[in-house]
Structure 1
Amino acid sequence: MGAKLAGSGGGGKYAIQQNSEINVTPFVDVMLVLLIIFMVAAPLATVSVKVDLPPAVAPPAPNPPTPIYISIQNNGNVFIGDNLVPIYSMGDELRRLIGRRNPDDERVFIRSDRTTRYGDFMQVMNTLQDNGFYSVALVGEDTNTF
């Protein structure tokens, strides 16, 4: 039996030279198995029936409807788009604008002056809800400067 003595102090238990190489054999084995699985499964995923498909000529999708803007001035005047509308006829005017579409699917954008009375704003909101317009977005000024 032989022992390796290190220098003059004798050998220690950590004097054995370390092997720092990675054993890649298990990695190669796994990769080869995966390669075989994919080579067998790939032809099964393709369709082998030949079909002469006709060209698809679909009509272009319609543009989304133009947004509806309601503006409230600080004196209580209500505008739909650029038209001044009395609050009591606002529902009829909105229904005329959307045509046959469902009011639930329409989004109404509300712009309001900074000094508008809360009561005027709530009157517009209540009128919208009474006429079936539940999707309402509030428009504000973007003050972020980049």
Structure 2
Amino acid sequence: MAMGLVRPGKRQRGSRRAPMAEINVTPFVDVMLVLLIIFMVTAPLLNTGVPVDLPDSRANALPEEAEPVELTIDGAGTIYLGEDALAPGELPERLADIRTGVEGELPQVTLRASRSIDYGRVMAVMGELNRAGFNQIAMVTNSTSAPPASIAGSDEGQ
């Protein structure tokens, strides 16, 4: 009967195992890969805003500051502050509200304007920004490695 045999040097009762020296990282890697896939899928969906056909530029990107004021002018000429459409003539009072709510240096303004909008309309908005004291204005464009068609000799942009 082999059931009653005990190996020499081994205790049958009260024996303790030696602590495990290796950690099983497979479950950790599985969880991290699932989280990575979730973030890769949801990251493009987090970019919200007003859809605008931006012009192209080869300018370098500016360093991003905390919470810039976002102004957008769409192809129809409607002005948006963040995602809120402004009524005609409402921009100066909204800028004044932002100015009174900020202590110290005013935040940078990012201005996005459709390429089809009249240049005078963009300059009028920039004039209101300047009048309200917002002097740090960044104009948002699409990044391109080739010169934009409007300066590369093509009449497409005109």
More helix, by proportion: 1
Give the TM-score taking structure 2 as reference length: 0.45
Larger Rg: 1
Higher relative contact order (CA 8 A, sep 6+): 2
